[in-house]
Amino acid sequence: MNSQQTQFSSDEATQKPATPFVSQFDTQSSKKDAKVTNVKLSTSDVHVYYGEAEAIKGIDLNIYENEVIAFIGPSGCGKSTFLRTLNRMNDTIDSCRVSGKVMLDNQDIYDPNLDVVLLRAQVGMVFQKPNPFPKSIFDNVAYGPKLHGLARDKYDLEEIVEGSLRKAGLWEEVKDRLNQPGTGLSGGQQQRLCIARTIAVSPEVILMDEPCSALDPIATAKVEELISELSTQYTIAIVTHSMQQAARVSDRTAYFHLGDLIEVNSTEKVFTQPDHQLTEAYITGRFG
Ligand SMILES: Nc1ncnc2c1ncn2[C@@H]1O[C@H](COP(=O)(O)OP(=O)(O)OP(=O)(O)O)[C@@H](O)[C@H]1O
């Protein structure tokens, strides 16, 4: 952390009394204490640059198997940029350069010999805006398994599609119209279709970049419920602007500020007794 941030936080800290986040809504909604299991993804000294500008300033973070970790922080602090380092989505941006190490289990994901298409199946991504392919509901989900040769035959493919739609909580709503376009579904259904598409290639990790920001409260509740169900099987990292959402769905929360990772702790601790005054200023609404 640089001196400018310290200055900012101490100035801010004197301006208003803290409103404990805990009083704003029920902390019982905080999902559970952090599960400490195997490390699934690990970043060491990760820096990200867009041209000359440093957006991520050396982040070390372990993400554990089957946890849901939420990334929160003010706009522009680097949450999405950091999330995208976890499956090399930043490779698609010409001006972007990543240094440091990101390990998925024992595999260095920035190894030049690594198959990036396979990596993005292992570490899938769900975006802010639902982005189904202009194909049928069935083909949206079948696309990845076909590409990766995951189905032995037509029946196997049908099973994968049905299983993925069931896991995404969408099967009952679409089973009678699998041949209709995915783009014809409601926004919430489209997002669950995109989650089904991600699940269909058997990922180990699912990255979610503000997956509910384009959804209404009912569709949001469905996706949040889904995240909790999926966390029994997958490791999930989610960027969210909603602290309530982070509290509802995540085991741990990481607070970012100006490209630094300021604090990562159990979600309950971050929202009730944060270690750092910058985190406290954010969760009590003094800035962000
Ligand atoms: N494609 C890009 N080219 C240049 N700069 C970028 C690009 N994407 C992000 N940035 C810059 O990197 C910094 C971090 O942006 P990022 O989108 O990761 O933050 P964020 O915390 O996810 O923000 P938000 O909450 O607003 O989505 C910002 O200064 C942003 O302007």
ipTM, two decimals: 0.98
Burial readout 137-146 (b: 16 or more C-beta within 10 A, e: otherwise): bbbbbbebbe
Rounded to 10 degrees, what is the CA torsion of 91, 93, 95, 101? -30
- Token reading at 32: 């559970």
Question: What spacing in Å lies between the alpha carbon of 191 and ligand 1's midpoint?
Answer: 23
Do 206 and 124 touch, CB atoms closer than 8 A? Answer: yes
Protein residue whose Cα sits closest to atom 4 of ligand 1:
50
Question: What spacing in Å lies between the alpha carbon of 108 and ligand 1's midpoint?
Answer: 24
Domain annotation covers residue 90: yes
Q: Measured between alpha carbons, how far is 91 from 208 in angstroms, rounded to an integer?
A: 18
Q: From the alpha carbon of 81, which atom of ligand 1 is closest?
A: 18
What pLDDT is attached to residue 37? 76
Protein residue whose Cα sits closest to atom 28 of ligand 1:
76
Domain annotation covers residue 159: no
Q: From the alpha carbon of 210, which atom of ligand 1 is closest?
A: 27
Domain annotation covers residue 211: yes
Do 83 and 207 touch, CB atoms closer than 8 A? Answer: yes
Give the closest residue to 141 by CA, choosing from 184, 176, 170: 170
- Token reading at 110: 């920035």
Question: What spacing in Å lies between the alpha carbon of 259 and ligand 1's midpoint?
Answer: 10
Q: Measured between alpha carbons, how far is 231 from 104 in angstroms, rounded to an integer?
A: 17
What pLDDT is attached to residue 21? 47
Domain annotation covers residue 80: yes
Question: What spacing in Å lies between the alpha carbon of 215 and ligand 1's midpoint?
Answer: 22
DSSP single-letter state for residue 279: H
Q: How many domains does the chain have?
A: 1
- Token reading at 170: 């969408």
- Using alpha carbons only, give the angle 191, 195, 201 rounded to the nearest 5 degrees: 150
Q: Which of 81, 128, 282 to mutate to test the pocket of ligand 1 (most atoms within 8 A of CB)?
A: 81
- The per-residue pLDDT for range 19-69, each reduced to its tens digit, is 444 444 444 444 444 445 799 999 999 999 999 999 999 999 999 999 999
What pLDDT is attached to residue 288? 61
- Token reading at 216: 């209404």
Domain annotation covers residue 60: yes
CATH of the domain at 42: 3.40.50.300
- The per-residue pLDDT for range 233-255, each reduced to its tens digit, is 999 999 999 999 999 999 999 99
Helix axes 137-147, 187-199, angle to 10 degrees: 20
Q: Is 85 in the pocket of ligand 1 (CB under 6 A)?
A: no
Domain annotation covers residue 20: no
Q: Which of 72, 80, 89, 209 to mutate to test the pocket of ligand 1 (most atoms within 8 A of CB)?
A: 80
**Total Cβ atoms within 10 A of residue 133:** 15
CA-based max dimension of the chain: 66
β pairing state of 252-257 and 68-72: parallel
Domain membership of residue 104 as a residue range: 38-131+205-283
Per-residue pLDDT of the chain (288 residues; tens, 9 = 90+): 433 333 333 333 333 334 444 444 444 444 444 445 799 999 999 999 999 999 999 999 999 999 999 999 999 999 999 999 999 999 999 999 999 999 999 999 999 999 999 999 999 999 999 999 999 999 999 999 999 999 999 999 999 999 999 999 999 999 999 999 999 999 999 999 999 999 999 999 999 999 999 888 998 999 999 999 999 999 999 999 999 999 999 999 999 999 999 999 999 999 999 999 999 999 998 766
Question: What spacing in Å lies between the alpha carbon of 138 and ligand 1's midpoint?
Answer: 34
Q: Is 81 in the pocket of ligand 1 (CB under 6 A)?
A: yes
- Token reading at 171: 């099967």
Q: How many residues are listed for the chain in this entry? A: 288
Q: From the alpha carbon of 82, which atom of ligand 1 is closest?
A: 18
Domain annotation covers residue 91: yes
Burial readout 37-53 (b: 16 or more C-beta within 10 A, e: otherwise): eeebbbbeebbbbeeee
Domain annotation covers residue 240: yes
